[in-house]
Amino acid sequence: MKPVKVGLLGLGTVGGGTLNVLVRNAAEIARRAGREIVVTHAAAREYRCEGLEGLDRVSVGDDAFAVVENPEIDIVVELIGGYSPARELVLKAIENGKHVVTANKALIAMHGNEIFEAAQQKGVTVAFEAAVAGGIPIIKAVREGLAANHIEWIAGIINGTGNFILTEMRDKGRDFADVLAEAQALGYAEVDPTFDVEGIDAAHKLTILASLAFGIPLQFDRCYTEGISRIEPQDVTYAEEFGYRIKHLGITRRAEKGIELRVHPTLIPERRLIANVDGVMNAVLVKGDAVGPTLYYGAGAGSLPTASAVVADIIDVTRTLTTDPENRVPHLAFQPGELSDLPVCPMDDVVTAYYLRMTAADRPGVVAAVAGILGEAGISIEAMKQKQPAEGESEVPLVMLTHRVREQQMNQAISKIEALDAIRPGVTRIRVERLN
């Protein structure tokens, strides 16, 4: 049987890793796929030859559209990232009847509905395992391994940069800005770290997981997104005193009014396995009605871990080249005509517990006033700590945990608390999830 010919778009960190894995493990991959897989063409404006295996057998140019238009190519592997020209390249590949593998979470989250519809019409496959959590096979787990389950919720640490920053803040008491600078120096964070630290990268990934779990269209614009830049070392310390750890979580849950879709800092009980995932590692916790909670842990980024997922997709596509398109695994786990119109819940309707930290005047009646506002809003306090003022200081930090309540009620209560003359404006609020 003739080899399957692959065209690589991008020879950077992931593209180079993909080429190396395909060359290094060629014999093993052929045994698994049932036929040889070879990279024959690649497109890259800039790349380093050093460390790239088998590059002498690849035709490399700077025109990605030339690779997509090449009639010899069976599978196009898009590893350039971003929205454009990735979208145009993928759609052109599909139009030309080529299968596509991509690691581009932004592309799938923003344009996946359009891309999958085009692929369905042309009878080709778009595979995207590497788009979420790097080398962790979470897409396949949710789409195939847990297909018998009614998925109840997913909670994941799906951005290694944010997890590294929070780990360093907890372990060493460092400030956010200090750790971010180190993360940039180590290559964990980009020069512009906005996508990582403000939750946009995680929101792209969570959007994909929610569609796979609940059979809804991709709706990135409905995902509530909050970053970690306002977390202070004292919040990390207080969380520990209450028996919690702060993690930047992506959470999607089937709720009474629809689907929750949210990314934000979250307090998790320190005994939970996911609370002990540190550094740049990723972890995704999935709760199914039949299987119960399952945890998927591993490297969420990096050359070879991500290449592992990319090559696994290439092998899957190779196996399905002779399969009837109508009988392939659906892109978003559910048959295209069976996607649900369940709405994504507005954040105001989400119910969760809260950690609150405020700076209060050190005088009688302040705690009672705050508790009174919370009580009027139907918010019950679970635990509270009031620190002693430092010598010469007239203000003290007041920290509390609440029981579960609707976000709208908490927003209204915080507005009233901040209006008190005894409370400094800027109440810090972090949501709490016990992941039971």
Tell me the whole-structure pTM to 2 decimals.
0.94
Sign, CA dihedral 110-114-118-121, equals positive
Q: Which amino acid does the sequence have at 88?
A: E
Mean of the per-residue pLDDT values of the chain = 95
Residue 156 pLDDT greater than 90, yes or no: yes
Question: In this structure, which long-range contacts are made by residues 185-188, counting pairs with CB atoms below 8 Å and at least 24 apart in sequence?
Answer: 188/160, 188/161, 188/164, 188/280
Give the pLDDT score at 132.
97
Beta pairing class for 151-157 and 75-78: unpaired
Instruction: Reply yes or no on whether 205 is catalytic.
Output: yes
Residue 388 pLDDT greater than 90, yes or no: no
Q: Can you tell me the distance from the alpha carbon of 9 to that of 11, in angstroms, rounded to the nearest whole number?
A: 7
Q: What is the pLDDT of residues 303-343, one digit of tens each?
A: 999 999 999 999 999 988 877 776 678 888 888 888 899 99
Identify the active-site residue in 105, 140, 205, 287. 205
Q: What is the pLDDT of residues 201-219, one digit of tens each?
A: 999 999 999 999 999 999 9
Strands (E) located in 113-257 = 126-127, 151-157, 224-225, 244-255
Strands (E) located in 239-375 = 244-255, 258-269, 281-288, 292-299, 351-361
Q: Which residues contact 121 (CB under 8 A, 6 or more apart)?
A: none
Give the pLDDT score at 40.
98
Sign, CA dihedral 410-411-412-415, equals positive
Residue 48 neighbours by CB distance under 10 Å: 10
Alpha helices in 41-85 (DSSP H): 64-69
Give the pLDDT score at 305.
95
Structural domains in the chain?
4-135+303-338 (3.40.50.720), 138-298 (3.30.360.10), 349-432 (3.30.70.260)
Q: What is the pLDDT of residues 236-285, one digit of tens each?
A: 999 999 999 999 999 999 999 999 999 999 999 999 999 999 999 999 99
